[in-house]
Structure 1
Amino acid sequence: MRAKNFSFAAKIKESSDIRRIISVINEHNGIVRKVLYNSRIDSSIAFFEIANFSSELMTALIQSDHILSSVQEPLFIKIKIHLPQKARVISEILTHADDAGVIITLMEFDAQEAKKEDILVLMLNAVESQSVKAFLDYLKTSYAIDIVEYTPNNEDLDNTIFYITYANRIRKFTHDQGDHFVLSFLADINSIAFELKKLGYDPEDIFMKIYENGETLNNTIGEKFYADYQVLQLKSDTSLHCFQLPCGGNVYILENATESLMIDTGYGIYHDDIMRMCRHFGLWQDDKKKTLFISHGDADHCGGAGYIGMTPYSHPGTIDLIRNGNRAYKSVTEGSKLEQIYTTMIGTFSKWLPPDSYRKFQSSDKDKVGAFPVFGSLEACGYKFTVLESHGGHQYGQLFLLNEEAGLFFTVDSCLNLKSISPERTKYNQLADLFMTSVNVDSDLARKERKDLLEIAADLTAKSDKPFYICCGHGAISTIKDGKLTAFGQTTRYTHS
C-alpha cells in the first residue's frame, strides 16, 4: 500500500520562504506533491503536501521555524493619532513604523481642512510586542494618541491572517478538537476551495459556504431543532412516522405494539433532539423490541448510529466505506479529493459516530426484483421486507427496503421527490452539490437507478388497490400520480416547545 502523503501548514513572512521550505524538503529527500498559496486570501500561510516524509524532515522543518502548530489569533491594536497639519508627517510616522518592524494591517486618513488637526487611524499587528511598544513610545513623544481597540477578533483586518481567523471561527464546529486537528482540517478545506477554483469558483466564496454549512447545523439543534413529519396508519396498531430533519436525511420509525424499527438515524449532531422528539411521540421506547436499519454510509443517514448503541442491519460495504473514510469508496470517483475531504468535513461538523459493525440479513426466496438483486430479508413489526441492493449510483452498498403488503418502498437517496423538499433544506443540500459537484458517486448509474426504482414503483402501484408509498431519503413520503411523485397527505411541523 502506498504511504499516505504528509500535509502541513507553513508560516510565510516573505515570498522567498516558500523556496526555502522546498529546499529543506529536498535536502531531506522529501517529494513535494502540492503547494497551495494565495496571497489574496492569506499572505501568511501556505499549505504543503509531501511524499517520502521522515522524522528527520519534520525536525528540520521545525528547526527552520516554518511549521505552523497553533491557530491562536494574534492581538491587534487600533490607535487614533492626532496629527498637526504639516507636510510629510504621515511619511515620518510610516518610516518609524518600518524601522521598528511594525506590521500595519489597516490605515485610514482623511485630511480635515476645516479643523486644526488631522486624524490618522492605524491597526497594528501586536505579534511582535516589543516592536509595537517601541513604536508607541515614539508616537507618545510627539503626538496625542488614543488606543481605540485591543482585540484578537476584529472584522476590519486585511487578509494577512485570514486562515488563522477562519480556523478560530470554525473551531466551534469541530467539537473541542485541538489545534493539530483544526490545522489539518483547515488544510482539507483549503484543498476543497482550490479544487473548486479550477472549476471557476471563487475560493473566498467557498470558505464562506463551508462556514455556513457548519453554522446551519449548529443553529438547528436544541431549542432551535424542528422536524416536518408524516404519519401513515398501516394497521390499527401499526404506524410509520417519517421525520424530515432540519438538514440531511429523513428518519423513519415503523412501530406496532411490541416492536420498533428505525430506518436511518440522521446526523449525529441531531441525536439528542431525535430522542427527545421520539419521547414526545412515544416512539422508540425501551419497552419494545428495537431494530435498526442503515441504508448507506452518508453521515446524514448513519451518523447517529453510534449514539444509539446497537448493531444495525446494513451492507458490509457500508461498514468498509465508513472505515475507508471516503463516501466514494468503490466507485468511479473514488480517487476524487473532493469526495474524501467532504466526508471528513461533514463528519466533523455533524458529530459523525457511525456504526462499526453490522448484522446480517435473513435469506430470501427471491433472486431479483426488477433490475435489482435481492440482498436478503428483514422482519420487523409484523412485516417481512425484501432487501434490494442498489447499483451503486448514489453510493456503494446502498440498500432499499420493499414490502408489497404494506405498500412501502424505501428508495432512500436514489429516488427523491425534490419538489417536496422545503426551500431551506434545498439550500442546505445545494452545499453538498457544490462541494462534490454531485451527490451521486456515479451519475450515469444514479440515473439508471432512479429509472429502475420508478419502474418497480409504477408497476406495483398499478397492481394495488390501495396507495403505494415511496419513502424517500429526503423530502415527503410520496405516491405516483400521472407518472410523477406526489407528496402524500399532510406534513406537520414539530418543535420542542
Structure 2
Amino acid sequence: MNRYSFVTRMPDKPGALHCAAEIIKSYSGNINRIQYDRRIDPATVFFEVTAAPETCHRLKEDLHAIGYLQETLPTLGFLKFSVYLPHKPGALFDLLTYITGAGANIAYIDFDDRRSDPGRVTISLNVEESAIVENLLDRLKSRYRLEILEYDTTGERLDDTVFYVRFAQAVRGLIGSAEDGFLLSLLHDVNHIVQELQSLGQDPREVFECILITGRTLRETTGEGFYADVQRIRISDAVEVFCFQMPGGGNIFLLRGPGEAVMVDTGYGIYHQDVVQMFQHYGLGDLRKIRRIYITHADADHCGAGGLFEAEAYMHTGSLEIIRQANRAYGSRSESSILEEVYTTIINLFSHFAPPESPELFPEGGVGMRSIFPILARFTVHDLEFEVLESLGGHLHGQVYFLCPEHGIIFTADTLINFRSLDEDRRRYNSLADFLVTSVNVDSDLARTERRALLELIAELDEELALTGRRCLVACGHGAISVLSEGRLEATGPVERYQPKGGRGS
C-alpha cells in the first residue's frame, strides 16, 4: 500500500464530497488527509489516500470520469463589464443566455432597477480562453450598449472562486515555465502547510501571501534590484575577510590570501550572477582563485549556490543528508514537521537551489573538544588555522562553526545573528520564514544552549586576545561582522552599500 496525493475540483452541491469518498472507499482506499475550506476556494479539495498502486490508478480514473480530478491548471483571465438592458421581462434572462452559450463562468453580478441608471448590469467573468472573450464581446456589442471595465489575462484579478488557480498562476510567474503536474504537486504541499498553520490559529490567506512575498522578494532583489552591505577587515598580515550581506538570506564570506580565496557559505543560487559581478567590483572576479568553499549548514541561503562554483566544497554529513532528503528538519526532533518539509521545498524552488553535488565531508568522531562542541577537523587558509566545531543541532542538524582562536575570528552560522545591524527589508524578509515554520530553529532548547556556549567562548577569547590589543571577530550568519560588547553584538569597522551600476538607487 502506497500513499498518493491528488487535487479535486467539485461542484458546489450537496453530496459532492460524499460521492468522491464513496469512489475511494470502493477501491479500499484509506483517506489519510483531506482539506477543504470554502473561505479560501469553494471548489478545491485536497486528498492524501493510501491504496494499492493498481487500485489508486482506477479510482483516479473514476474521479476523472465524473469531472472531479484536477489534472491541469488552466490560464484563466478576468473580464468585468457593464451592459445596459431594456426595461422588459426576460431581458436579464437573454443576457445570461448569451454568457452561458459562450462558455463563460460568472463570478460576480450586480443589478438594481432602483438606481439612477436602472438598466445597468455589471458582471465579472472568469474565462479560460481569450477566444471566448472575443466571441462574447462581439455578440454583446451587437445587441447592447457595452462598457469594458477591466480585462486581465495575468490571473491577478481572478476572484476567490478559483483561488488555487490564481495562486498557481502567481507562482508560475515567479518561477517561469512549469508543468501543470509540478504545480499541482506544489499546490498540494502548500495546502498542507496552510492546513497545519490554520490548526495553530493562523489566517490561511496570510500564509499564502507570505509564500508569494518570499518569492517576489527574491526575484525583485536580483539584477537592478540587487544590493549588498560589505565589510572588509584584515585578520592577519596575509589574509583579509570580506563579508557580503545579501538582500535576502545569509551572508557570504570570502577569505582572501596570497594566490587563493576561500569562501564560507554561498548565499542563494538566485543571486549567483549578481554575486559574481559584485566580486569583480571588489577585485575578486577571478573565480579560479576560489578553490574551497566551507558550508556551515544546509539551508538554501547558506549553501544554495555551492554547485555553481568550480571549487571543492566541504560540509557536515548531516548537511548532505538534509540536501538529499529536501527537509531542513532532517535529523532533528522536528523531522516529521510538515511545515519544515514544505518550507524547504518552497524556498529551494524560489531561490534556484543549486547546492554542491559531491562535497567532501568532515570526518565524524572528532579530534578534541572546544567548550561543549566537538572539534571535527582543522583546515588552514594561508597563516590562519581553523577548527571545525560541530554544533548540537539546535538551528539545523549538521551545522558547524569555523573558529580561528589564534587570530580571533569565528563563523557562527545562524546560532548568532546581529539583528540590530539588519536593515528593515532584511528583517521583514527574515520574519517570513519565522511565520511559515513558526521557528527557524529545529530545536529551540538546543539553540539556546549553543548560543550561550558560543558567547562564553567568544568572551574567553576576547580576554586572551586583549593582551595583543585585539578582539574576537564574530562572523554571524546574518548581519554585520561584530564584536562582543557587554554581552551584545556590535558591528565593527566600516560597512559600505554595494549596488550594481544602473541598479536602483545607484
TM-score by length of 1: 0.91
Residue type at the aligned position of 2:480: A
Q: Pick the aligned partner of 2:491 from 472, 487, 495.
A: 487
Partner residue in 1 for 2:504 = none
CA deviation after TM superposition for structure 1 residue 346, in Å = 0.3
Partner residue in 2 for 1:72 = 74
Partner residue in 2 for 1:256 = 257
Partner residue in 2 for 1:203 = 204
Partner residue in 2 for 1:428 = 429
* Residue deviations 1:234-256 (CA, integer Å, cap 9, x gap): 23442100000000000000011
Partner residue in 2 for 1:84 = 86
CA deviation after TM superposition for structure 1 residue 219, in Å = 0.2
Contact 2:221 2:227 in 1 (8 A): yes
Figure out how many residues of one structure are paired with residues of the other and give that number.
Answer: 494
2:482 matches 1:478:
yes
Residue type at the aligned position of 1:72: P
Partner residue in 2 for 1:8 = 6
Contact 1:33 1:50 in 2 (8 A): yes
Residue type at the aligned position of 2:498: Y
CA deviation after TM superposition for structure 1 residue 145, in Å = 4.3
2:375 matches 1:377:
no
Contact 1:21 1:61 in 2 (8 A): no
2:222 matches 1:221:
yes
Partner residue in 2 for 1:395 = 396
* Residue deviations 1:301-345 (CA, integer Å, cap 9, x gap): 000011114331111111111111110111111000000000000
Partner residue in 1 for 2:303 = 302
Partner residue in 2 for 1:279 = 280
Partner residue in 2 for 1:31 = 30
Residues in 2 aligned to 1:378 and 1:494: alpha-carbon distance in whole angstroms: 31
Residue type at the aligned position of 1:475: G
Partner residue in 2 for 1:42 = 41
Residue type at the aligned position of 1:444: D
Partner residue in 2 for 1:233 = 234
Residues in 1 aligned to 2:158 and 2:211: alpha-carbon distance in whole angstroms: 20
- Structure 1 pair 230–113 and aligned structure 2 pair: CA distance change class (3 A): closer
* Residue deviations 1:423-480 (CA, integer Å, cap 9, x gap): 1111100000000000000000000000001010011111112121011000011111
Residues in 2 aligned to 1:389 and 1:284: alpha-carbon distance in whole angstroms: 32
Residues in 1 aligned to 2:240 and 2:132: alpha-carbon distance in whole angstroms: 71
Structure 2 unpaired stretches of 5+: 502-506
Residue type at the aligned position of 2:34: V
Residue type at the aligned position of 1:22: A
CA deviation after TM superposition for structure 1 residue 87, in Å = 7.0
Partner residue in 2 for 1:188 = 189
Contact 1:298 1:327 in 2 (8 A): yes
Relative to structure 2, which stretch is displaced further, 230-239 or 240-249?
230-239
Contact 1:107 1:120 in 2 (8 A): yes
Residues in 1 aligned to 2:134 and 2:241: alpha-carbon distance in whole angstroms: 69
Residues in 1 aligned to 2:432 and 2:107: alpha-carbon distance in whole angstroms: 33
* Residue deviations 1:244-292 (CA, integer Å, cap 9, x gap): 0000000000011212110000011011111111111122624536211
Relative to structure 2, which stretch is displaced further, 339-348 or 18-27?
18-27
Residues in 1 aligned to 2:39 and 2:73: alpha-carbon distance in whole angstroms: 20
Partner-residue secondary structure (3-state), 2:267: coil
Residue type at the aligned position of 2:7: A
Residues in 2 aligned to 1:361 and 1:34: alpha-carbon distance in whole angstroms: 40
Relative to structure 2, which stretch is displaced further, 430-439 or 59-68?
59-68
Equivalence map 1:92-131=2 (5 Å): 103-111=105-113, 114=116, 118-126=119-127
TM-score by length of 2: 0.90
Q: Identical aligned pairs, as a percentage?
A: 37
Partner residue in 2 for 1:163 = 164
CA deviation after TM superposition for structure 1 residue 134, in Å = 11
* Residue deviations 1:201-229 (CA, integer Å, cap 9, x gap): 11111111111110000000012111101
Contact 2:303 2:356 in 1 (8 A): yes
Relative to structure 2, which stretch is displaced further, 93-102 or 448-457?
93-102
CA deviation after TM superposition for structure 1 residue 154, in Å = 5.7
Contact 2:76 2:155 in 1 (8 A): no
Contact 2:155 2:166 in 1 (8 A): no
Relative to structure 2, which stretch is displaced further, 332-341 or 169-178?
169-178
Relative to structure 2, which stretch is displaced further, 15-24 or 295-304?
15-24
- Structure 1 pair 58–468 and aligned structure 2 pair: CA distance change class (3 A): same
Residue type at the aligned position of 2:109: M
